[in-house]
Amino acid sequence: MKKTNSKKIKAFAPATVANVACGFDVLGFAIHGLGDYVTASYSEEPGLRITSISGEEGKLPKEVEKNTAGLAVLSMLKEMDEELEFGIDLEIEKKMPLGSGLGSSAASSAAAVFAVNELLGKPFLRSDLLPFAVEGELAASGTAHADNVAAALIGGFILVKTHQPPDVISLNTPDKLHCTIIHPEIEIQTKNSRKILRKQVALQKAVTQWANLGSLIAGLYTNDYDLIGRSLHDEIIEPVRAVLIPGFSEMQKAALYHGALGCSISGSGPSLFALSKSRDEAEEIGKAMGTVLKSIGLEYNLHISKINTEGASVVET
């Protein structure tokens, strides 16, 4: 493959909320503002390289095979099965905390494959990039999960029917939905938070969980905010992971008291998300949750956003 006219492409992929209470490993949505940037450019030196990573305090590897963005692009280049007449350099800018439960690794993977695809003249459709981005998740969690990365790449609410190969369904996004994200300044590694999950689940809890998931999806399609609120309840994962997050129960109660439709753990935590019907409600919910963390001496970051239905995008050429 020969070079296109573009010498450099900078892409952005947003932060995401996975699980969404009752949808463990199968449901996710994207938000505005937070996310990662990846710049892809041509190099005279053959091969793929990560030339710089910023915003992660030196915690992430530059070795391509060990980095989520690098592994995702390697997977894409391998699928092309076409020898490049040039090299590709990646510059990664992390704009959200690692281990926050907001899909940091997924955002890097999605932004990387999106940027390189644009640089090469779009040999793949956006939807075709998903399997490559999913491969990048192997570097972060040891498993290829599509819930965060599909939301980051495609935007909006997504449902993952299967992870390997990824079969993803875009869901409706009610216009009034706002999301409050609160991130206590502690870090939880996805690998560790998965280890504590139970391997067996009581049948009645499973029945309740998939009923909640079905009714949540129905609520999204019918713009039924009351039904969405009645469905945002996690019977299985939240009770186990909540013990890792100081002040979790108090924050959840505060969010619901101040009008949240529902409140649960974002991904593997420690961030919590709450959904509401207006920005004013979302801000009040955030203040109330922040008061809880202040009372136990924890610093935190607060973020308010509507649902991001755009997904990955080019920000500079």
Catalytic residues: 137, 190
Backbone phi and psi for residue 155, each to the nearest 5 degrees, phi listed first: 90, 170
User: In 10 A of CB 299, how many CB atoms?
Assistant: 11
Report d(CA 110, CA 133) in Å as an integer.
5
Nearest to 17 by CA among 250, 257, 306: 306
Q: Please check whether residue 161 is in contact with residue 177, taking contact to mean a CB–CB distance below 8 angstroms.
A: no
**Token code pair at residue 144:** 């290829």
Largest Cα–Cα distance in the chain?
60
Compute the 3-state secondary structure of the chain and give helix, strand, coil in percent, each to the nearest 5. 40, 25, 35
Distance separating alpha carbons of residues 187 and 244, to the nearest angstrom: 10
Within the chain, residue ranges assigned H as helices are 68-80, 104-119, 130-136, 138-141, 147-154, 190-195, 203-222, 225-231, 238-241, 248-257, 279-295
